[in-house]
Amino acid sequence: METIKVQGTPNIYRHHDGAIKEMAQVICRYGLKKGLLVTGEASYRVAEPHLRATDLNVVVEQYSGECSREEVTRLEAIAEEGGVDYLIAVGGGKVIDVTKATATLMRLPYFIIPTLASNCAALTPLSVFYTEEGVFTDHVIFDQAAFMVAVEPKIMIETPSEYLRAGIGDTLAKWYEARPLVLEMVHQPLAVKVSQHAAKLCQDVLITSGKQALDDAKQKVVSNEFIDVVDAIIMASGMVGGFGEHYGRISGAHSIHNGLTVLEETHHLLHGDKVSYGILVQLALFNEWDEIDQLLPYYDELGLPKTFADFGITKDLDEKWEHVARHAVRENESIHLLGEVTKEALHLAMCELEQHVIIRAQRGE
């Protein structure tokens, strides 16, 4: 019987007003003295009033803008020079990932204050690495999870709504990427069943409450739907991989995202927007057109991208599809968990998806 390595959640996950103050109390209670706080300019600006209300002793360092191995090396040197005994990430996915990697390398505990509900980086014990120019290279899974994740609703509601939309797109992929990975399993270990239920829960919450949550975010209203969607993006989606291991992390949609990173025109696009496009391409690859047709109205409601044209890319499409496909099917890419996928098949899927969406639009669908 196959065994699954379960890394379900951080030690503590808190989502309420005052979560950062509670985190400071936990840090004090465990005798930690000095931290390196890694952040970005905008993220620190929104979190600083909450941090100022604590008595944390931290060195604040802005990250370079990428989660690269060079940045991990730089932050490690700063942490060693500062004599810190823990790290805090304040920001979005790349800030969180580079902090996780640095803390794990140094064997130090780390804490996370997400300022964006754009992905599950706060829950997952892995880091996605890019070059300094923003091209995906690989990802690494760690044994160590966060000691605590503190989600402040007042910070989340100040996030630009496009980040929440991207988070919805990234989290929606959990179900579509995880579902086909277990179809051939004769016996699903209980941990995998938990993972599948979490993935389906994410889909259900997002389909049911995603549009309302996005509307509320635009109006700066912390509604029940907004709270549920944020928890789906940050918490429940992290449980998919945490309990399912390789049966619950990533497959086709994220490989297509990785392929898109080779195009300079996509570097300004949010991770979740590229992943949400990858969902449709993955479904097209396996001729699941009925599923695509069910999703397209939802994509239109939320403003999720369906085609290269939605990315603002309208020229040399065939050449760019080929470039993306070649990168997305590299030997170690997760798309091959779905079976052997060739660049020709993936290229065709992107072409067919583009035509399918255009034809639907011409019909007024």
SS3 letters across 55-105? CCCEEEEECCCCCCHHHHHHHHHHHHHHCCCEEEEEECHHHHHHHHHHHHH
96 is in an annotated binding site: yes
Q: Which residue has the tokens 């829950």?
A: 123
117 is in an annotated binding site: yes
248 is in an annotated binding site: no
- Please name the residues in contact with 246: beta carbons below 8 A apart, sequence gap of 6 or more: 181, 337
Q: Is the pLDDT reported for residue 248 higher than 90?
A: no
306 is in an annotated binding site: no
pLDDT of residue 179: 93
pLDDT in tens, 162-188: 999 999 999 999 999 999 988 878 889
**CA gap 143, 127 in Å, rounded:** 12
Q: Is the pLDDT reported for residue 157 higher than 80?
A: yes
**CA gap 65, 31 in Å, rounded:** 31
17 is in an annotated binding site: no
Contact 198, 239 (CB under 8 A): yes
DSSP label of 38 = E
104 is in an annotated binding site: no
Judged by DSSP in three states, 353 sits in helix
95 is in an annotated binding site: yes
97 is in an annotated binding site: yes
Q: Enumerate the CATH 3.40.50.1970 domain ranges in the chain, comma separated.
A: 12-156
pLDDT in tens, 51-102: 999 999 999 999 999 999 999 999 999 999 999 999 999 999 999 999 999 9
- CB-based contacts of 40-44 (< 8 A; 24+ apart in sequence): 40/65, 40/91, 40/92, 40/95, 42/115, 43/90, 43/91, 43/92, 43/95, 43/115, 43/116, 44/90, 44/91
**CA gap 320, 264 in Å, rounded:** 11
Residue range 19-28: mean pLDDT, rounded: 98
77 is in an annotated binding site: no
271 is in an annotated binding site: yes
Q: Is the pLDDT reported for residue 207 higher than 90?
A: yes
CA angle, 232 then 234 then 237, to 5° = 60
Name the average pLDDT for the chain: 95
CATH of domain 161-362: 1.20.1090.10
204 is in an annotated binding site: no
* Sequence-ordered alpha helix ranges (H) in the chain: 19-29, 41-52, 69-82, 93-106, 153-156, 161-178, 190-218, 224-231, 237-244, 252-260, 271-285, 289-302, 317-328, 343-362
Contact 94, 66 (CB under 8 A): yes
Q: Is the pLDDT reported for residue 2 higher than 80?
A: no
Residue range 216-236: mean pLDDT, rounded: 97
DSSP label of 314 = -
Q: Enumerate the CATH 1.20.1090.10 domain ranges in the chain, comma separated.
A: 161-362
Local confidence band at 252 (pLDDT 50, 70, 90 cut-offs) = very high
211 is in an annotated binding site: no
pLDDT of residue 1: 64
Q: The whole model's pTM is what?
A: 0.92
Contact 244, 196 (CB under 8 A): yes
356 is in an annotated binding site: no
CATH of domain 12-156: 3.40.50.1970
Contact 306, 203 (CB under 8 A): no
Local confidence band at 47 (pLDDT 50, 70, 90 cut-offs) = very high
